[in-house]
Structure 1
C-alpha cells in the first residue's frame, strides 16, 4: 500500500510536491493538512496518515508528553522558521510587548503556533503559565479573530502570511525565529502502517529531490518558477525566502543536538517536563540515523 504522507501546502513543501509529481510508481499519496502540525499529529493518531512532514517543536513536545502515535524518522528543513507576530489591520497592538496578558490565537492545541507563543513569552520575560489561548483552527480563522477582537495576535510563517499583509487584512508587529531547524519527518511506529523498508525508500528518494532543489542552479530559476506557479507568491518574496532556507543532504539523518536543544528550550517555556530522557526514544532507529 502507498504511504499516506501528510503535509502543509506551503512553499517549504516544494521538493515534496516535485517528488509527488514524478512518483510514477505511486509509492505514496499526499494528504493536505491546512491547519498545520496540530492537525498532522491528530491525523497520525487517528490512522488518517502514516507519515507527517511537520514542525520540529510540536513533534518533539508530543513525544515528550507521551504520544505513542509516531516516532521521528528524518529531517526535512535544516534552517529556522521565521514566525511572524500578526495582529488585526486596525487593532490597538503595535509591538510584541503590547500583547502581554492578552488572548493569543492558535490553530490547535499542541501546534507550532502555540509552541512559538511560549517561546515568544520566554523571550519577553512573561509568566508562561499565565498565557491565554484561543483555538481558531486555521489561518483564515486566525485572521478573522485578530480583526474581530477575539484574539490580540497570532503567529504564522512570515512569507505564508505576507500576502494577507500586502492586502491590508492584517499587520506584522514582529517576528520570532525558531531556535531550532524547522521541519522534521515523523511516522507511525506500526509496521502495518509504515514499514521500515518502505520508509527508508521514501526518505532516500525524497533526499534526491531535496538536494536537487537546494542547488544554486535550481535556486536561480526553476525553484522560483515552480513556487510561483504552485503558490502564486510574488517573485521577490520567493527569492527573499530562498535566501533564508536550506535542506539536509540526507533526509534520514537527525542531528541529536536538534532533539536535546529543542527539549531544553521547551522545558524552560513550560511546554514539556522531561527531567531525564533518552534521545533514542524519540526516533525510529530502524529508519533514522542520529548524527
Structure 2
C-alpha cells in the first residue's frame, strides 16, 4: 500500500473528499489515504506541502499562489471549487463597531501570515480605499484562536468563511458586519513536488477518483443532509450555501482566473508582479490523460 497524505480545512467544501476517503475505493487501488484537518488554514497547508508533511493539499487559490511565489515546493494541478468564497467580516458581538466603515485602522485577527484571513483582509482594505501600509495583524492560528482573541480584547476584526462562522453569529458571540467575495475561484488542488515525483500513479489515481466522487455528489439528492450531518450545520444554512457553490466537475486550470489572482496579489505587493502562470501549475495533461 502506498501511503498518501492529504489535507484541507475542516469545512463543507471538502465533503467530496470525505466521501471518497470513507468509500474504500482508494484502498482497492493499493492506496492508503490519510486525511488531516488543518484548522490553521491555507498558510499552514502550504507549509506542510513544502515540508513533505502533505502530498496533496486543498488550498485557497490566493494562498497557493503566494506560497509558490515564495518558493514552496508544490504546484497547482487543478481548480477544485470554481465559485468564489464568501468571507464574513466579523467583530465581537459586544463591540461598539456597527458597520465596516468603523473598522479602518483596527486590529485584524488572522490565522497566520499568507492565509486567506490575512490576504482577504488586505484585499478588502484596498477595495475600500484604506491604507494597507499600517494594518495591524494578530496571529491567532485558527477559529478557536480568533474566539479567544476576541474574548481577551486582543483583536477587533476577523475574516472567515461565512457559513463556518455562522453558528457564532447565531449564538451571539460574533457579529457579522459585512462580507467580501474573492475575485477568483476559491479552492485549488495542490501536489507537492516530491509526491508527484515519487508517488505519481497514486496521486493521479486519487485525483481521478476524486473528480468521479465530485460528479456523483453533484448529482446526489442527499447533499444537504450529508453536509449538515458531517459538519454540524443547519440544513437551511447548507441550502443557502449550496446556491452559490460550484465544484469543478473535471480537472482544469483556467489561465485567465490564475492571471486575475496574480494581478490582484501583485497590485497589493503580496507576490512578484512578474510571476508566470507556468511557474504555478503542474503537468495537468498527466491528470487529464489519466481521466
Q: Residues of 2 paired with 1:85 and 1:193: CA distance?
A: 40
1:62-91 Cα offsets, whole Å, 9 max, x none, are: 112x22321111221000000000000101
State the secondary structure of the residue aligned to 2:194. Answer: coil
Please name the residue that 1:257 is paired with. Answer: 256
Map 1:75-94 to 2 at 5 A: 75-94=79-98
**Aligned partners of 2:41 and 2:111 also within 8 Å:** yes
Which one is further off, 123-132 or 23-32? 23-32
Question: How far has the Cα of 1:249 moved from its partner?
Answer: 1.7
Q: Report the CA distance shift for 1:195/1:163 in structure 2 as closer, same or farther (over 3 A).
A: same
Q: Report the CA distance shift for 1:187/1:87 in structure 2 as closer, same or farther (over 3 A).
A: same
Please name the residue that 1:247 is paired with. Answer: 247
Please name the residue that 1:154 is paired with. Answer: 158
Question: How far has the Cα of 1:193 moved from its partner?
Answer: 6.5
Please name the residue that 2:64 is paired with. Answer: 59
Question: How far has the Cα of 1:192 moved from its partner?
Answer: 7.0
Query: Is 1:132 matched with 2:136?
Result: yes
Question: How far has the Cα of 1:146 moved from its partner?
Answer: 2.3
Q: Report the CA distance shift for 1:194/1:83 in structure 2 as closer, same or farther (over 3 A).
A: farther
1:78-134 Cα offsets, whole Å, 9 max, x none, are: 000000000001012111221111110000111000010011011110121221100
Question: How far has the Cα of 1:46 moved from its partner?
Answer: 2.1
Question: 5+ residue gaps in structure 1?
Answer: none
**Aligned partners of 2:107 and 2:137 also within 8 Å:** yes
Query: Is 1:2 matched with 2:3?
Result: yes
**Aligned partners of 1:188 and 1:194 also within 8 Å:** no
Which one is further off, 92-101 or 106-115? 92-101
Question: 5+ residue gaps in structure 2?
Answer: none
Please name the residue that 1:237 is paired with. Answer: 237
Please name the residue that 1:97 is paired with. Answer: 101
**TM-score normalised by length of structure 1:** 0.92
Large movers: runs of 4+ above 3 Å? 191-194, 286-289
**TM-score normalised by length of structure 2:** 0.92
**Aligned partners of 1:187 and 1:194 also within 8 Å:** no
State the secondary structure of the residue aligned to 2:239. Answer: helix
Please name the residue that 1:15 is paired with. Answer: 16
Match of 1:213 among 214, 217, 223: 217
Question: How far has the Cα of 1:277 moved from its partner?
Answer: 3.0
Q: Residues of 2 paired with 1:78 and 1:176: CA distance?
A: 17
Q: Residues of 2 paired with 1:21 and 1:44: CA distance?
A: 23
Question: How far has the Cα of 1:14 moved from its partner?
Answer: 0.6
Query: Is 1:197 matched with 2:194?
Result: no
Q: Residues of 1 paired with 2:198 and 2:85: CA distance?
A: 28
Map 1:30-41 to 2 at 5 A: 30-41=35-46
Q: Residues of 2 paired with 1:95 and 1:157: CA distance?
A: 18
